Amino acid sequence: MSHTEGRAEGAGPFTTRLAWRPADGGTAVWESRTARKRGRLTVRAEGELTPRPRRADSVSIGRLRRLNAVAALAFTVGGALFALGAGVAQFGSGAATGVWIYFAGGLFFNTGGYASLLQAVNAPRPVTGAGSLTGRPWAWWSYEPSRIDWLSTFVLFVGTLVFGINLLSSLLQGLSLQQVNRLIWTPDMIGCILFLISGHLALVEVCHGRPGVRARELSWWIVAVNQLGSVLFLVSALAAFTRPATGSLVNEDIANWGTLTGALCFSAGGILQLFERP
């Protein structure tokens, strides 16, 4: 069985795991997240019961390690800043200070989103007919919507950029209620929805199909914690809608606490991601 005749798993048009018989015999298994995050696949030789990991070249491994560190630290710091901003909004009196803290956190989220996309763009690929991974020339961008890892990280990055519109608009003074909802609340909602879509695709990738619970896998915990953060961000955004009739938020406490707890989830996910490396 050649690489192209391998047994594929995934959901819809996406392949998240592929098993095939290399030219030298045995069975090779490639998983998209493992290859992207850890730079490896597994190969079980003829007559062996236990598969052995086979790593990509040292250049690819070095890239993945550095990009993983940048993304993990960026989401850890960004989440911590968002939590701090929500804490200031809930317990402090410096509203302007909280807005600037959010803005700083958003820059870290932008960095983490783009570093995650770069990991997908520069991930090593399985070699046709062999049980190994091959590196790719460094690229700052690619367009590969048929790959679930690329699509998930691209949607995540776009979500961080949309959040940036929300945060920039928050710095403007003298906005009417309609402008607040259009320039601040609407981008917030769109960003939350994009985060949820990205998280769902990541769950599909980790579970190789229908999302489920895989409590023994670090990658599942990272994705699940981040998805919980996305849900809490959405709850916060819904509560942050400004009623035109009264000029007040639907529920300011829920808006602040949703942001705080959701941000802590992203920060925790970033810490866990530090350990998901080559």
Question: Which residues are CB-contacts of 93 (< 8 A; sequence separation ≥ 6)?
Answer: none
Stronger pLDDT, 132 or 234, i.e. the higher one: 234
Question: How crowded is residue 261: how many other Cβ atoms within 10 Å of its Cβ?
Answer: 17
192-230 per-position pLDDT tens digit: 999 999 999 999 999 999 999 999 999 999 999 999 999
Q: Which is higher by pLDDT, 254 or 23?
A: 254
- Give the per-residue pLDDT at 2: 40
Q: What is the pLDDT of residues 251-278, one digit of tens each?
A: 999 999 999 999 999 999 999 999 999 8
CA angle 65, 69, 73 (to 5 degrees): 170
Any bridge partners for residue 53, and if so which?
42
Residue 7: pLDDT above 70?
Answer: yes
**Distance between CA 278 and CA 123 in Å, rounded?**
12
Which ranges in the chain belong to alpha helices (H)? 32-38, 58-91, 95-121, 148-170, 177-180, 186-207, 218-239, 252-273
User: What's the average model confidence in pLDDT over 237-243?
Assistant: 95
In degrees and rounded to multiples of 5, residue 12 shows phi and psi of 60, -130
Please enumerate in sequence order all residues whose Cβ is within 8 A of that of 226, keeping only pairs 6 or more positions apart, or say none. Answer: 199, 202, 265, 266, 269
